[in-house]
Amino acid sequence: METSSEGGGETAGPGTAQADPPAPAEMTAAVETATADPSAAVETARAAGRVTAAGRPAIAPASLSPSRASDFMQCPLLYRFRVIDRLPEKPSEAATRGTLVHAVLERLFDAPAAERTVPRARALVPGQWDRLRESRPEVVELFADDPEGERLARWLGEAEQLVERWFTLEDPTRLEPVERELFIETELDSGLRLRGIIDRVDVAPTGEVRIVDYKTGKAPRPEYAEGALFQMKFYALVVWRLKNVVPRRLQLVYLGSGDVLTYDPVVADLERVERKLHALWEAIRQATESGDWRPRPTKLCGWCDHQAHCPEFGGTPPPYPLAVGAAESGGDPQGRMGPD
């Protein structure tokens, strides 16, 4: 799961771009330092004139995930806000419920096959919610205005219903996943680094590989199925390049509507995706170097957290924190869940 959204307008100014760009090694060191000593990382980046409006080290994009690729295709400015500026986003009930349901379905396979039942799955929900609150305290604010816990109880009930619906689509007593929540990463011959997290990988006794992804929303209409399969073909490409194996089947399980969408890829499919990603990465590289990130208004703008910074809504983007004309490679600011 990668959640983890998809006219020209004003472009962001150079901001602190007057400083000479640091060497790639310096930027990589800043990122590596960030985990152990965030303040030192910020000072290193600040000395180089590379700090975002949020006070974080600003690093040029170094890899591509399905979610971030979809962000750029949906709106280049959204990509910039998430990857380069790393503007904060409020947790949403829908995205958080998706994370909770994924955690329950992952943990259910810890039990022996015969014990993977609906009651056991439902019983996992409260404990996984507690773990989610511990790992991501910001989700607590979702129910800050619910002192009696009524909304929370209803929300948890909805999560339980999604988990229960899964049993009508797949039989976990007959499944033994080889991998769950599998992080994958590869570097193409061009140098483009691809990464992502696969919900589940099944391998048949005969060796065929199936990649499975859970979606807590509803299945798209047939005319939009290709867009939905982009993420799965992305994963298949990475697996192919890593293992020299083309997955036999890609499977999207839509818990919101009770549908299962499958696709059997061939090499030609994956080669097309690879060409598309190279073209996409070139566009990202050019935007990174020029600082020209155009907004692309769509109906999805109504759900965007960044309207206050978007020229389409009368906002002003923060000062561009990278040097115009000199993109660097460094650490990867991409995370799994913002909103797969």
Question: Where does the pLDDT of residue 51 fall: very low under 50, low under 70, confident under 90, or very high at 90 and above?
Answer: confident
| pLDDT, tens digit, 9 for 90 and up, residues 182-202 | 999 999 999 999 999 999 999
pLDDT at position 54 = 64
Reduced 3-state DSSP string for the chain: CCCCCCCCCCCCCCCCCCCCCCCHHHHHHHHHHHHHCHHHHHHHHHHCCCECCCCCECCCCCCECHHHHHHHHHCHHHHHHHHHCCCCCCCCHHHHHHHHHHHHHHHHCCCCHHHCCHHHHHHHHHHHHHHHHHHCHHHHHHHCCCCCCHHHHHHHHHHHHHHHHHHHHCCHHHCCCCEEEEEEEEECCCCCEEEEEEEEEEECCCCCEEEEEEECCCCCCHHHHHHHHHHHHHHHHHHHHHHCCCCCEEEEEECCCCEEEEECCCHHHHHHHHHHHHHHHHHHHHHHHHCCCCCCCCHHHHHCCCHHHCHHHCCCCCCCCCCCCCCCCCCCCCCCCCCC
Model confidence pLDDT, tens digit, residues 126-144: 999 999 999 999 999 999 9
pLDDT digits 0-9 by tens, 55-102: 778 889 999 999 999 999 999 999 999 999 999 999 999 999 999 999
